[in-house]
Structure 1
Amino acid sequence: MREINKQFGIPVSKHTCYRARYAARKTLRGSLIDHYHLLPSYIAELKKVYSGSTFDLVLERETPDSLVKFKRLYICFDSLARGFLEGCRRVTCLDGCFLKTEMRGQLLCAVGKDGNNQMYPIAWAVVEGENQASWTWFIQLLMGDLGIQVGNGWTIMSDQQKKKGHSTGTLRMLFWNAVKCTTHQDFQQIMQQMTTLKPQAAQDFRNIGVKKFCRAYISETPKCEVIDNNVCECFNSYILQYRSEPTIDMLEDIRSTIMQRIVKKREVASDTTDQLCPRIRKLVEGNKLKSRTCSLRHAGEFQFEVTDFGNRFVVDIRSRSCSCRYWNIRGIPCSHAITCIHWMKQDPVSFVTDWLKKDVYKRAYRNGIRPLNGRNLWTEVEGNYLFPPIVKKQPGRPKQKRRIDSSEKVVNGQRLSKKGVQMTCSICHQVGHNRKTCVAQIEKHAPSRVDALWKCVKMKGRVIPT
C-alpha cells in the first residue's frame, strides 16, 4: 500500500490490494473451476509418461445426480520408490501439513533418509484433512508401492504429539536425555531423576510407550538412530512456497523440484572419491577424536575391553557390536570400537554399514524423474467435468501459520521461548529475577530528589530561577 501511494500518489485500502492480487492470480492461473476441470488431463499425462508409478484420484458425489468433485489424490513415482528400496534404510516417516489455498486441505507425505542422513521423499497426497480414513487410504497405497506386507524389519514413524503438560526446562532436558540415551541402565537412571523431580511426569512418560521411540529400546536392524520426525518437517519447509498454489501448480512445482534435486545429488556423489557420504565421514572423524581418551585390553580373537573415563565397555569386532550400543544402532563404529580397530591396524571405514556408503547412496538417485510436457500439450480427457471440493468457509481471514503449542521453543521463527527457564540475577546472583528488576540495582542507582526535580524541569522546558 505504501509503495502504490508513494509511486502513483493513490491511497488504497488493504482490501483493494487483496482484490487486485486475487484478480492477478486468476488472470495468470485461470479460475478455480477451470483448474479442477484440467486435473483429469494432468493425471492422464502423468500415467502416460511415468508408467509403473501410482496416481490414485478419488472423487465423490453428494447425491447420484450431483456434480463430481475432487476428494483425494495420491502420487508416488516409481523411480522414487525403487530408489528408496535400493539405496535407503527401511525407515519411513509420515506427516501432514496444511495447504494455504482457498480449498484448504492437507498434504500428507512419506519421507525416508538416504545414506547421507538427508530426506528422501517417497510419496505425497492431497487430502481433505488429517483423519483416520485419509491416513488409512494413504498408508495402504504406500505399503503397496513399497511392497510392505507383514512389516518385519520396517520402522514407521509418525508425528504424534506426546506432550502431557510438563514443559519446564529441567523436565524437558531429562526427557530428551532419556530418549537419546542408548543403554537400558542410563535410561533407568534418568527416569529415577525424573521421578524424584516430578513423579507424575515420569509416570506420564512411561505410559506413552517408551519402547517405541527411545534409543535404549529401538531395534538394531534398520541401522538408524532417528527418534524424531525432522525429515518430514524438512520436506514441509522445502515445499513451503508451493503450498499456497492451486493443486496442479503445487504438484508440478514439487515434481520439478525433486527432479532437479535428484540430479544434483547424483552429481555430488559422482564428484567425490570418498567411500563414505559427507555427513557420515564427519561422524567417523568425530569418533576418531573421542577415541584418544580410550584404552583397551585384548580378550582374545576379536573381543576387547575398552575403558573410557572410568566406564568399561565390551567390543566385539566380528559381530560389529559395542555394549554402549552406539555402533549397534547407527551402523557407525563408536569411539570404543575405533580404538580396537586402530589396534588391529585396520580402517574404520570398512566397518561402517553399507547403507551409509557412497555406492549404496548412488543407487537411491540413479533413477531420475523424466521431464513432463506443459498443459498446452496435455490430452483432453472426455467424461464428466471435475469440480472443486466442498469447503466450509470459516469466519475471519484464513490462517497462514499453524498453531504453536505453548511448550514449543521457537517463537516467530527466530527467538526462543524462555518459558520454564529459571532466571538468575547477574548483580545479586539471586534466583527469580534478572538485573532489570533487581532491588539492589534500583537502590544503587536511585536518583536523589534534587536530580529527579532537575530532570523533570528540563523535560518540561522550564528554567529554574536563580
Structure 2
Amino acid sequence: MRFKSIFWSFGPSIVGWKYCRPILCLDGTFLLGKYRGTLLAAVGVDGNGGLYPLAFVVVESESIESWIWFLQMLHDLIVSTHSRPDLCIISNKHAGLIRGCCEIFPWAAHRHCLRHLRENFKKVLRRLAIPNCDAVCDKMYWAGNTDDIKIHERHMRDIQNIKKEAYDWLMERDRTKWALTYDGGFRYGVMTTNASECFNGVLRRARRLPIQGLIMSIYYNLVSLFIKRTTKVEQWTASDGSAFVPHTKAVLELAGRQARRSPQPTQINNHEFKVFDMSCSSFHFVITSPQTCIYSCGHPQIYHMPSKHAVTALSSRRWDHNAFVSTYYSLVCYKENAILLCVFTENVKPVRISAPF
C-alpha cells in the first residue's frame, strides 16, 4: 500500500458556497518537510471579498493527470459547481487545467490569472530583447485590469508601437480571457488567483506536516476563519441597517457621491438617457424597468453593481439603484452563509473523502 492522493472538502463549505460569487481560483503549492507532494486548492470569494476555501487535494505533483482528477472530483462531489451556469474558473492556465476545463466544465468561463500572464509576458519580452521590460509589462497589466475600454486600447496601441510581436502574443491569448473590459462580467472584478495564494500563505507552516496533520491544520484554520466571520456578521447586523455587506456599501456610497457631482443627464425619451461625467465623456443608458438596464458603460456588467453613471441616470427617474446590485453582495446572502458557518464551528467533521485516482 502506498499513498498517492486524497481529495477532501467540508460539508458546510460545500453548502455555503452557493451564497458566494460563482468564482473558483485554482492554484497549487509545494509541500515541505519530510513528506513531499503538492497541495492544490479551490478557493472562492464571498460577497465582501473574503476568502472562501472550498476544496483541497494532495497529489504527487502538479501534472495534467492530477489537475484533471481534481476537477473531476469537484464536478462529482460538489454538486453546486455544475449547477451554476455562470461559473468562472480563474487559474494560471496550466495544461491540465485547460484540458480539464474543456472536458469537465465546458460551460464554465475559464479566465487567465493576470499576474501569471504578466510573468509569462515578461519572459516573451526578454526573448524579444525588448529594453525596459517592466514598463511594457505594466502597460499590459493596466490594459487587462481597467474597466475603461479607451484606456485598454491606448495601452494596447503603446505595446504595438513598441513591439508588434509582443502585441500579437497578447492578442493570441484572446482578450476575453484576460482583459476586464472584454470579460462579459464572469469575473466579478476578480483578476488574479490571489485568493488561493493568500490561503496558501496561511498554511505556510502546515505544509511541513504529514498528510493527516495538514488536513487537521486546514480544518482548524477554517474554523478560526469562520468564527471571525460570524462575529462580524453579528456586529454588522447590530450596528448597521444597510442591505449590503460593508465593502459593497462603501462602493455604492462613493458612486452616489460622484453621481451628485455629475451633470444632469440628457433625457432622449422616457427610457433613454445620455450621461456625461466630469471628463465630458458620454454614456448611453436604456432603462427598461426598475431592474433592467442596457448601458454603454461596461462597469455595471463587469462588477454587477451600478456605476456613478448608472446612479445618475436612475436617479433622474427616481428609481432605486440598489435594485441593480447582485444578490451575492447582499447581507442576506452573507447571513445565510454565516448560519452554515456557525454549524461548522459547532459540529464539524471532514466529509467527502475520495479514493485515489
TM-score when normalising by structure 2: 0.79
CA contact (8 A) 1:294 1:336 kept: no
User: Who is 2:92 aligned against?
Assistant: 159
CA contact (8 A) 1:321 1:328 kept: no
Superposition deviation, residue 219 in structure 1:
2.4
Q: 1:149 to 1:358 in 2, by over 3 A?
A: closer
CA contact (8 A) 1:322 1:336 kept: no
User: Who is 2:13 aligned against?
Assistant: 80
> What is the aligned-residue RMSD (CA, Å)?
2.2
Q: How far apart, in 1, do the equivalents of 2:228 and 2:178 lie?
A: 33
Superposition deviation, residue 315 in structure 1:
2.1
Matching of residue 314 in structure 1 with residue 284 in structure 2: yes
Superposition deviation, residue 185 in structure 1:
5.0
Superposition deviation, residue 303 in structure 1:
2.6
Describe the superposition over 1:329-359 as per-residue Cα deviations: whole angstroms up to 9, x where unpaired: 1111101011123333444333311111100
Matching of residue 125 in structure 1 with residue 74 in structure 2: no
Q: Report the AA paired with residue 362 of structure 1.
A: K
Describe the superposition over 1:74-102 as per-residue Cα deviations: whole angstroms up to 9, x where unpaired: 111121111002x0121111000111121
CA contact (8 A) 1:182 1:324 kept: no
Higher helix share: 2
Partner-residue secondary structure (3-state), 2:5? strand
Q: How far apart, in 2, do the equivalents of 1:316 and 1:268 lie?
A: 38
Q: 1:149 to 1:345 in 2, by over 3 A?
A: closer
Superposition deviation, residue 238 in structure 1:
2.1
For residue 349 of structure 1, the aligned residue among 303, 322, 340 is 322
Partner-residue secondary structure (3-state), 1:365? helix
For residue 260 of structure 1, the aligned residue among 202, 221, 224 is 224
User: Who is 1:362 aligned against?
Assistant: 335
CA contact (8 A) 1:320 1:328 kept: no
Q: How far apart, in 1, do the equivalents of 2:286 and 2:229 lie?
A: 35
Q: 1:354 to 1:149 in 2, by over 3 A?
A: closer
Matching of residue 284 in structure 1 with residue 257 in structure 2: no
Q: Report the AA paired with residue 202 of structure 1.
A: Y
Q: How far apart, in 2, do the equivalents of 1:144 and 1:294 lie?
A: 53
After the TM superposition, which of the residue ranges 311-320 and 321-330 deviates more from structure 2?
311-320
Partner-residue secondary structure (3-state), 2:2? strand
Describe the superposition over 1:294-350 as per-residue Cα deviations: whole angstroms up to 9, x where unpaired: 431122333311011111001234323431210111111101011123333444333
Superposition deviation, residue 371 in structure 1:
4.0
Q: How far apart, in 2, do the equivalents of 1:195 and 1:293 lie?
A: 35
CA contact (8 A) 2:47 2:330 kept: yes
TM-score when normalising by structure 1: 0.61
Partner-residue secondary structure (3-state), 1:216? helix
Q: How far apart, in 2, do the equivalents of 1:158 and 1:349 lie?
A: 32
User: Who is 1:293 aligned against?
Assistant: 262
Q: Report the AA paired with residue 353 of structure 1.
A: S
Q: How far apart, in 1, do the equivalents of 2:5 and 2:197 lie?
A: 22
Q: 1:223 to 1:178 in 2, by over 3 A?
A: closer
Partner-residue secondary structure (3-state), 1:71? coil
CA contact (8 A) 1:321 1:327 kept: no
Superposition deviation, residue 226 in structure 1:
1.4
Superposition deviation, residue 186 in structure 1:
4.4
Describe the superposition over 1:418-465 as per-residue Cα deviations: whole angstroms up to 9, x where unpaired: xxxxxxxxxxxxxxxxxxxxxxxxxxxxxxxxxxxxxxxxxxxxxxxx
Aligned positions of 1:36-115 closer than 5 A = 68-85=1-18, 87-115=19-47
Q: Report the AA paired with residue 300 of structure 1.
A: N
Q: How far apart, in 1, do the equivalents of 2:174 and 2:77 lie?
A: 29
For residue 191 of structure 1, the aligned residue among 127, 145, 156 is 156
Aligned positions of 1:161-176 closer than 5 A = 161-162=116-117, 163-164=120-121, 165=123, 166=125, 168-176=133-141
Partner-residue secondary structure (3-state), 2:339? coil
Q: How far apart, in 2, do the equivalents of 1:196 and 1:115 lie?
A: 40
Identity %: 24
Aligned positions of 1:445-460 closer than 5 A = none
Superposition deviation, residue 193 in structure 1:
1.8
User: Who is 2:182 aligned against?
Assistant: 217
User: Who is 2:205 aligned against?
Assistant: 241
After the TM superposition, which of the residue ranges 151-160 and 200-209 deviates more from structure 2?
151-160
Q: Report the AA paired with residue 135 of structure 1.
A: W
Q: Report the AA paired with residue 171 of structure 1.
A: V
CA contact (8 A) 2:43 2:55 kept: yes
Partner-residue secondary structure (3-state), 2:226? helix
5+ residue gaps, structure 2? 94-115, 126-131, 350-357
Q: Report the AA paired with residue 276 of structure 1.
A: F
Q: How far apart, in 2, do the equivalents of 1:223 and 1:337 lie?
A: 20
User: Who is 2:142 aligned against?
Assistant: 177
For residue 309 of structure 2, the aligned residue among 329, 336, 340 is 336
CA contact (8 A) 1:296 1:339 kept: yes
Q: How far apart, in 2, do the equivalents of 1:223 and 1:279 lie?
A: 17
Q: Report the AA paired with residue 312 of structure 1.
A: S
Describe the superposition over 1:154-210 as per-residue Cα deviations: whole angstroms up to 9, x where unpaired: 111112433132372331221122112335554333322210122222111112222
